[in-house]
Amino acid sequence: MTGRPVPAPPLPDGPPPPVGRPPLTWLYVPGDRPEVVAKALGSGADVVIVDLEDAVAPDRKEYARSATAELLGDQVTAAPDAVPVHVRVHGEEDVRALAKLPGLAAFRLPKITHAVSVHHVAAVAPGVALYPLLESALAVEHAYSIASAHHAVCGIALGEADLRADLGVREDTGLDWPRSRAVVAARAAALPPPAQSVFPDVRDLDGLWTSCGRGRALGMLGRAAIHPRQLPVIERAFRPTAEEIEAAEEIIAASAVEAGALALPDGRFVDAAVVASARRTIALAGRA
């Protein structure tokens, strides 16, 4: 042992970290219904997720893959200002069939339990952004190793329906710890905060609003939806309030005048971490 630091191995090629306005709404649509996918692209969702997994019956999988390939091969979906299209794949055949199409923004990987699975997909689809989904107790236990598995990982999320079944959880509060675990793992891996999983009752918009507030309090950012009527509620729930924007502007203004830690006139203590949080608030406010 010489005591000299060992250089880290080079990171594999992968997509750059997401830039621009933070996405808040992620709309799931079944891959075997191209007409619904077309409507979703005009729904106002920040991201459209074409689902080839749970939303598609086994005898429709091949058709769904073919229809999705046609969509992603269209130059309209590949345009720079197009709504990003993610695909939740069912298996490796989907990955191989879709990875090189110009309209693909990312793969969402269901039922990931170990980092090795992420490495495998990254090798099959080099340069494609990956979003592993944690849907079991084992996945939650491995959350950080999955989140940091590969340079291609651009975010993680929970699959709460499967996770709820795996844990035997009946009350929504029973998922607070796995949600917090995902938030911590994402932050530790320098990823954006996870978006909340879908709220299954598309008619209960009050319940959706309350649930989003709970997720936001835990550090989550944005939410997946299964119906366009849920999108405005999610957008409002995760955008900062006027009071939060005003407070953030005050913090940023104060930090521009005096470097380092300082106290505001109302007694609040401000340091670099608080300023960074204020800047994130302003970035979200700019979505309007």
Instruction: Describe the chain by its helix, strand, coil percentages, rounded to 5.
Output: 45, 15, 40
Return the pLDDT at 104. Answer: 97
For the chain, the structural domain boundaries read 25-238, 242-285
Is residue 93 annotated as involved in ligand binding? no
Question: What pLDDT sits at residue 18?
Answer: 40
Residue linked to tokens 């104060």: 254
Structure-model confidence comparison of residues 194 and 286, the more confident one = 194
Backbone φ, ψ for residue 252 (5° rounding): -65, -40
Average pLDDT, the chain: 89
What is the C-alpha separation between 158 and 231, in angstroms, rounded? 19
Dig out the tokens for 133 from the structure: 């989904």
Evaluate the CA torsion angle 175, 274, 129, 57 in order and state its sign: positive
Is the per-residue pLDDT at 174 higher than 80?
yes
- Is 135 assigned a ligand-binding role in the annotation? yes
SS3 assignment, position 133 = strand
For domain 25-238, give the fold: TIM Barrel (3.20.20)
Give pLDDT, residue 152. 98
Residue 198: is its pLDDT beyond 90?
A: yes
Which pairing describes strands 262-263 and 223-225: parallel, antiparallel, or unpaired? unpaired
pTM for the model stands at: 0.86
Please check the confidence at residue 164 and state whether its pLDDT lies above 70: yes
Q: Convert the pLDDT of each residue in 49-95 to its tens digit.
A: 999 999 999 999 999 999 999 999 987 787 888 999 999 999 999 99
